[in-house]
Structure 1
Amino acid sequence: MTTERFEVRHVDLAAADSGSDREPALSIFWWKDLPLGARASLEDELPYGTSQLRQLTAEYAAAQLEARSIGLGAPLRASYEGWPKPALSLEAALEAENLVEALEAFATPSSAPAHNISVVICTRDRGPALSKCLSSLAAQRSAPGEVVIVDNSQDGNARDVCGQFPDFRYVHEPHAGLSRARNTGVQTSRFDIIAFTDDDVEAHPGWTAEIARAFAERDVEAFTGLVLPARLDTAAQCCFQFTMGGFGSTFVPLVFDGRFFEETRPSGAHVWKIGAGANMAFRRSVFERVGLFDERLGAGAAGCSEDSELWYRLLAAGGACLYEPRAVVFHHHRSDWPGLKRQIRAYMKGHVAALVTQRDNFGDRGNIVRIGKQLPVYFAKTFVKALLEGPPGRLGILAAEVQGWLAGLQFLLRFGWRMRRTPMGAAATAEKGIPR
């Protein structure tokens, strides 16, 4: 996809109408409140005809029927080979008399109360974006028990924005670092389920209700949801979404458990596939069992991956994480090339730092294999592909990835940094004062 702008278009297949616009679009397909899939299309592929919409409905329904039907083995478990493919064929889905009825049942909006959920947003110097985020939280179908905004700026400059939302709690954490801010949110929150989103995100009106439903219906300790792009107005935003994969594009629920961890452990357990910190939630017991976010990681410290490193600890301790795409947030990607390159550089640097941390905590050699073998092979393959096929700007992004990898290698030699491990389990509870 070389087009520099895509309209983000939301299409309700229950209405069987994709509109008449013919500009390039990322069409996100829904059945009422249930997200089904996404497809990027150029001008000559639009608009979608009735037969195309019917086939898309059947394809997406086949995936949803298997992923959500207890009789077919739901919920699906993630594996090293990738996400399971639907056993229900397209032909069978087209002929299924209960296709619409099944989608109707799955698309029933959650009415679960969210009074036992604390929503934590960590923010730093993003007033306008934060205001949009908080407005979306104020409009939730099920109001959370509380919303805690942790201002991680030095001078507390988010206070004025937060003052526009008197029902939300404002906390100032002047010590820089996203993990530090998130831990402050955990420690000051009051309810059993702690949900996190970012200040550059707008939440779907059913976000908290879907989180509440997932924790009420399934015995899970951790949760992630679907992160969709809010806009794709620039080449940098399109590059992040299409070339770099955005924040994932899986539209069926998955359970990441011990099988996934053990299968991917030899190559540095692929916990980054579990989801994104912009849409995640935990029971408070997780922090009591495996510790808080590692304050050496994350934005403002090593770069990122504080979320995936916590998932690593949880899976290593025998826990599991549910990915449920019913819970949707919309992320505003970086709109300019310099900002995107800084983000990608920080992502890779933080990823390497997390791999070093995971090696130190658990002795898993696979983390070092990923640093020293898998990532260089990925860089080489990507370089050749970018030279031959593009897309424009890919080599610049690859350079940022390599720079981040090189910066991350320093953590292998920073023995003092490596010794400052995050306390785990009961030790973390006692040291950090997690409310019980």
Structure 2
Amino acid sequence: MRDVAVIIPTLRRPDSLERALRSVFVQTGSLHRVAAVVIADNDPQGSAAVLIERLRGEAPVPLTYVHAPVPGVATARNVGLSATDAPLIAFLDDDEAASSGWLAALLDAQGQTGADVVFGPIRGRVPADTGWTTTYLERFFGRDGPRETGLTDDIHGCGNSLMVRATALPGDAPFDVAMNETGGEDDRLFTALSARGGRFGWAADAWADEFAPPHRATLNYALTRAFAYGQSPTQMAADRRDWPGVVKWMLVGLAQTGVWGALSLASALLRRPDRAQTYDRCARGLGKVFWTKKFEPKLYGAAMLGRPEA
């Protein structure tokens, strides 16, 4: 029964895309359920097409190439979904590589929990020259969770996840394209699902590695993303027109900024080895305060096209 599609959005990362694809090719105990691996190429020039044609002959499952020429992470995910009617959708990012039992673990966890969305753990991998920030960056690009598979109240990003299409991905374009350049399209989707009574699961054995390229494996990039993550709860409250909630989250952000800002200053003066984590918490607090579109960092989509490896 081929009831699952693996969707990999990609933007000008041929080497890491090939690594991601080859990690899917060697899955154990699950390939018989894969209807297709869908590659949603978000490069306006369609640069991934050559790689996909080269790999077709050795792929143990069908490869579906679709072009999503309008740059943006939400657009790429929506176009990938339009290319398959599989009832189960697994998302793997093009900078990730799945462990050999990844998909089987996600499928087992979904069957065990009945969750609408299941997340798996991620090991962050960064270049060797990141110095004192290495531990922080590995944690930042990684994902931790419970040691046991089961239901969870925690919501994570789309990378390394399995979703029940009928309940988790409503409509033809469930990801909000307004988030194309800022990210957060998955937060918005999952917040709406939670409001509908959706359930989330954790697959403790569904490991993937995420490889941060050199231009992302920096403290500046990580703190910019931490600021964007911090914006999310205030923005979600504003989307619901929950103005008391907006005020609440801004006050939380002010308190976090005050506490973690002071600790950040002390940590910097003392050059504590764990100071990057303190900076991260301060950045998330600031995001809750400065949450409007004027302050949204552009991290995806057209903002990435100028880089040799987006």
Cα offsets for 1:292-325 (capped at 9, x unmatched)? 122222xx422x3222222211111111100111
Q: 1:215 deviation in Å?
A: 2.6
Cα offsets for 1:315-366 (capped at 9, x unmatched)? 1111110011111111113445774522431342254156314432262744
TM-score normalised to structure 1 length: 0.57
| 1:190 to 1:339, Cα distance in 2 relative to 1, 3 A | farther
CA contact (8 A) 1:227 1:329 kept: yes
Q: Aligned equivalents of 2:47 and 2:119: distance in 1? A: 29
Cα offsets for 1:30-52 (capped at 9, x unmatched)? xxxxxxxxxxxxxxxxxxxxxxx
CA contact (8 A) 1:231 1:333 kept: yes
Q: Aligned equivalents of 1:251 and 1:381: distance in 2? A: 34
Q: Which residue of 2 aligns with 1:294?
A: 176
1:215 corresponds to 2:96: no
Q: Which residue of 1 aligns with 2:20?
A: 133
Q: Which residue of 1 aligns with 2:303?
A: none
Q: Which residue of 2 aligns with 1:85?
A: none
Q: 1:368 deviation in Å?
A: 4.3
1:401 corresponds to 2:283: yes
Q: 1:408 deviation in Å?
A: 5.2
Q: 1:204 deviation in Å?
A: 0.8
Instruction: With a CA cutoff of 8 Å and minimum separation of 6, indicate the structure with the bigger relative contact order.
Output: 2
1:206 corresponds to 2:105: no
Q: Aligned equivalents of 1:146 and 1:228: distance in 2? A: 25
Match of 2:80 among 185, 189, 207: 185
Structure 1 segments, 4+ long, off by >6 Å, are: none
1:253 corresponds to 2:184: no
CA contact (8 A) 2:127 2:217 kept: no
Give the number of the structure whose alpha-carbon radius of gyration is greater.
Answer: 1
CA contact (8 A) 2:237 2:245 kept: no
Match of 1:149 among 27, 39, 48: 39
Q: Aligned equivalents of 2:90 and 2:214: distance in 1? A: 26
| 1:186 to 1:356, Cα distance in 2 relative to 1, 3 A | same
| 1:188 to 1:237, Cα distance in 2 relative to 1, 3 A | farther
CA contact (8 A) 1:210 1:327 kept: yes
| 1:241 to 1:368, Cα distance in 2 relative to 1, 3 A | farther
Q: 1:397 deviation in Å?
A: 5.5
Cα offsets for 1:1-55 (capped at 9, x unmatched)? xxxxxxxxxxxxxxxxxxxxxxxxxxxxxxxxxxxxxxxxxxxxxxxxxxxxxxx
Q: Which residue of 1 aligns with 2:55?
A: 165
**How much is the aligned-residue C-alpha RMSD, in angstroms?**
3.4
Q: 1:124 deviation in Å?
A: 0.6
CA contact (8 A) 1:227 1:248 kept: yes
| 1:409 to 1:332, Cα distance in 2 relative to 1, 3 A | same
CA contact (8 A) 1:182 1:293 kept: yes
Same amino acid, percent of matched pairs? 20
Q: Aligned equivalents of 1:284 and 1:395: distance in 2? A: 36
* Structure 1 residue runs without a partner (length 5+): 1-112, 261-272, 415-436
Aligned letter for 1:181?
Answer: A
